[in-house]
Structures are given as structure tokens and as C-alpha cells.
Amino acid sequence: SNSIAVDPLGNVFVSGTFQASADFDPDKLSEHTMISEGDLDGFVLKLDSNGEFLGSVQIGGFNVDYLIATVNTIGHVCSTGFFTYTVDFDPMGGTMELQSKGYYDSFVLMMSGDLVLGIEEADEKGVNAFPNPVSTVIKIVVEPKLIGYQFNLFDLRGNKVRSGAIVAATTPISVDDLQDGIYFIQVMDRVYKIVKQ
């Protein structure tokens, strides 16, 4: 590994590169194996404060030569490093390929700490959004204990495009003026992926 960082909830993020295949779950009774797509792939591993496996993501392509990650005060993971040739920087199964212009190019990748868990986990934590895909108004549905908290809506580049208060168990948000694409709703450390069409 190249770096270790801790978020405000005590979760531990380990990042680095791996080659061929690696099991990222430290529990000897379970397994979470990832296979590199090229010579070296980057990874970000998330463990809870007890060292229990929470999830991991892979940044891959021909070659990710170096990757380090830090965590900011609201739990976003910022990874940086350098790569060669073509690399897919979308850790969630989509495609966001970048091609190096020289031999080594640098990158910075920002993602929510919950993205390391996967979108399915966000539903289990009490945040949901519908309809998804959406064209005009998305409704955030939260557990009653989250009423009064702030929500943030980020585009795929990490730019905040909306924010406000959760005023009820179901809070509508107009997205009519936003460009089509992928967005992320954040409520505290909970994140939900939506598609605007």
C-alpha cells in the first residue's frame, strides 16, 4: 500500500497498486478478490475502525503506477497518482477513460467514501431517491432521524450543484435545469447515485 487515511467516522482507507489478483478482505473466512486489468491497477480499500472489510474499488486499465488517497472532513476520498496509456477512472462499473499524453500523466480522483461500499449499501443506511432515472424532480426519502440534515447534490466531477435541508421524510429537489448525466446525493455520509435524463 502507498497510503492509509481515516475518515471522521473512524473508517480506514488503504490505497495503492496491485498486480494480477489480490484478496482485499482481511477475514480468512471470506474473500473479495479483484483481478488487475493491466500490469498494475490502483485500489482503495475501506475497513471499519475494527478492521472489518467494508468494500474496495479498483482503478484499472493498462497501468496505474502509483496511487495514494486521503480523506477530507466529510468523508470524501481524494486519490492521486500517475498512470500510463489508457486507464478507466470510474470505480463503479461505468467507463471514464483517460489516455496519457506522455509516458506518465498525473491524475486526481475524488469520490464519496460510500462509493467504496457500493451504491447498494446506501439504500441500507436509510437514504433513497426516486424516480431514478429522473427528468424533472427527484424525491429524497430518508429515515425520520435524518430530517433536518443537509443534502448535497454533486455532479460526476464532484461539483456541488444543489444543497439544502431535508425538511420531511420525503423532500423534492428540482433537477429540471441540470444537464443529463450521473449525479450523487449526499446526506451526512450516505450517498445515492442518480441518473438525470
Extents of the domains making up the chain: 3-117, 120-196
Question: How confident is the model over 55-84, as pLDDT tens digits?
Answer: 888 887 766 667 777 776 666 788 888 888
- Residue 179's pLDDT is 93
Please tell me whether residue 96 adopts helix, strand or coil conformation.
Answer: coil
User: Which range (19-28, 31-40, 70-79, 135-144) has the least confidence?
Assistant: 70-79
pLDDT band at 177 (very low <50, low <70, confident <90, very high): very high
Q: Mean pLDDT over residues 147-171, rounded? A: 86
**Residue 91, preceding peptide bond in cis (omega within 30° of 0):** no
> What is the distance, to the nearest Å, from the Cα of residue 107 to the centroid of all Cα atoms in its chain?
16
pLDDT band at 178 (very low <50, low <70, confident <90, very high): very high
Q: Which three cell numbers stand for residue 49?
A: 475502525
Residue 121: is its pLDDT beyond 60?
A: no
- Alpha helix (H) residue ranges in the chain: 119-124
For 120-196, which CATH class? mainly beta
For the chain, report the end-to-end CA distance as a whole number of angstroms: 39
CA distance to 24, 34, 66, per residue, from 186 (Å): 26, 27, 29
- Residue 123's pLDDT is 43
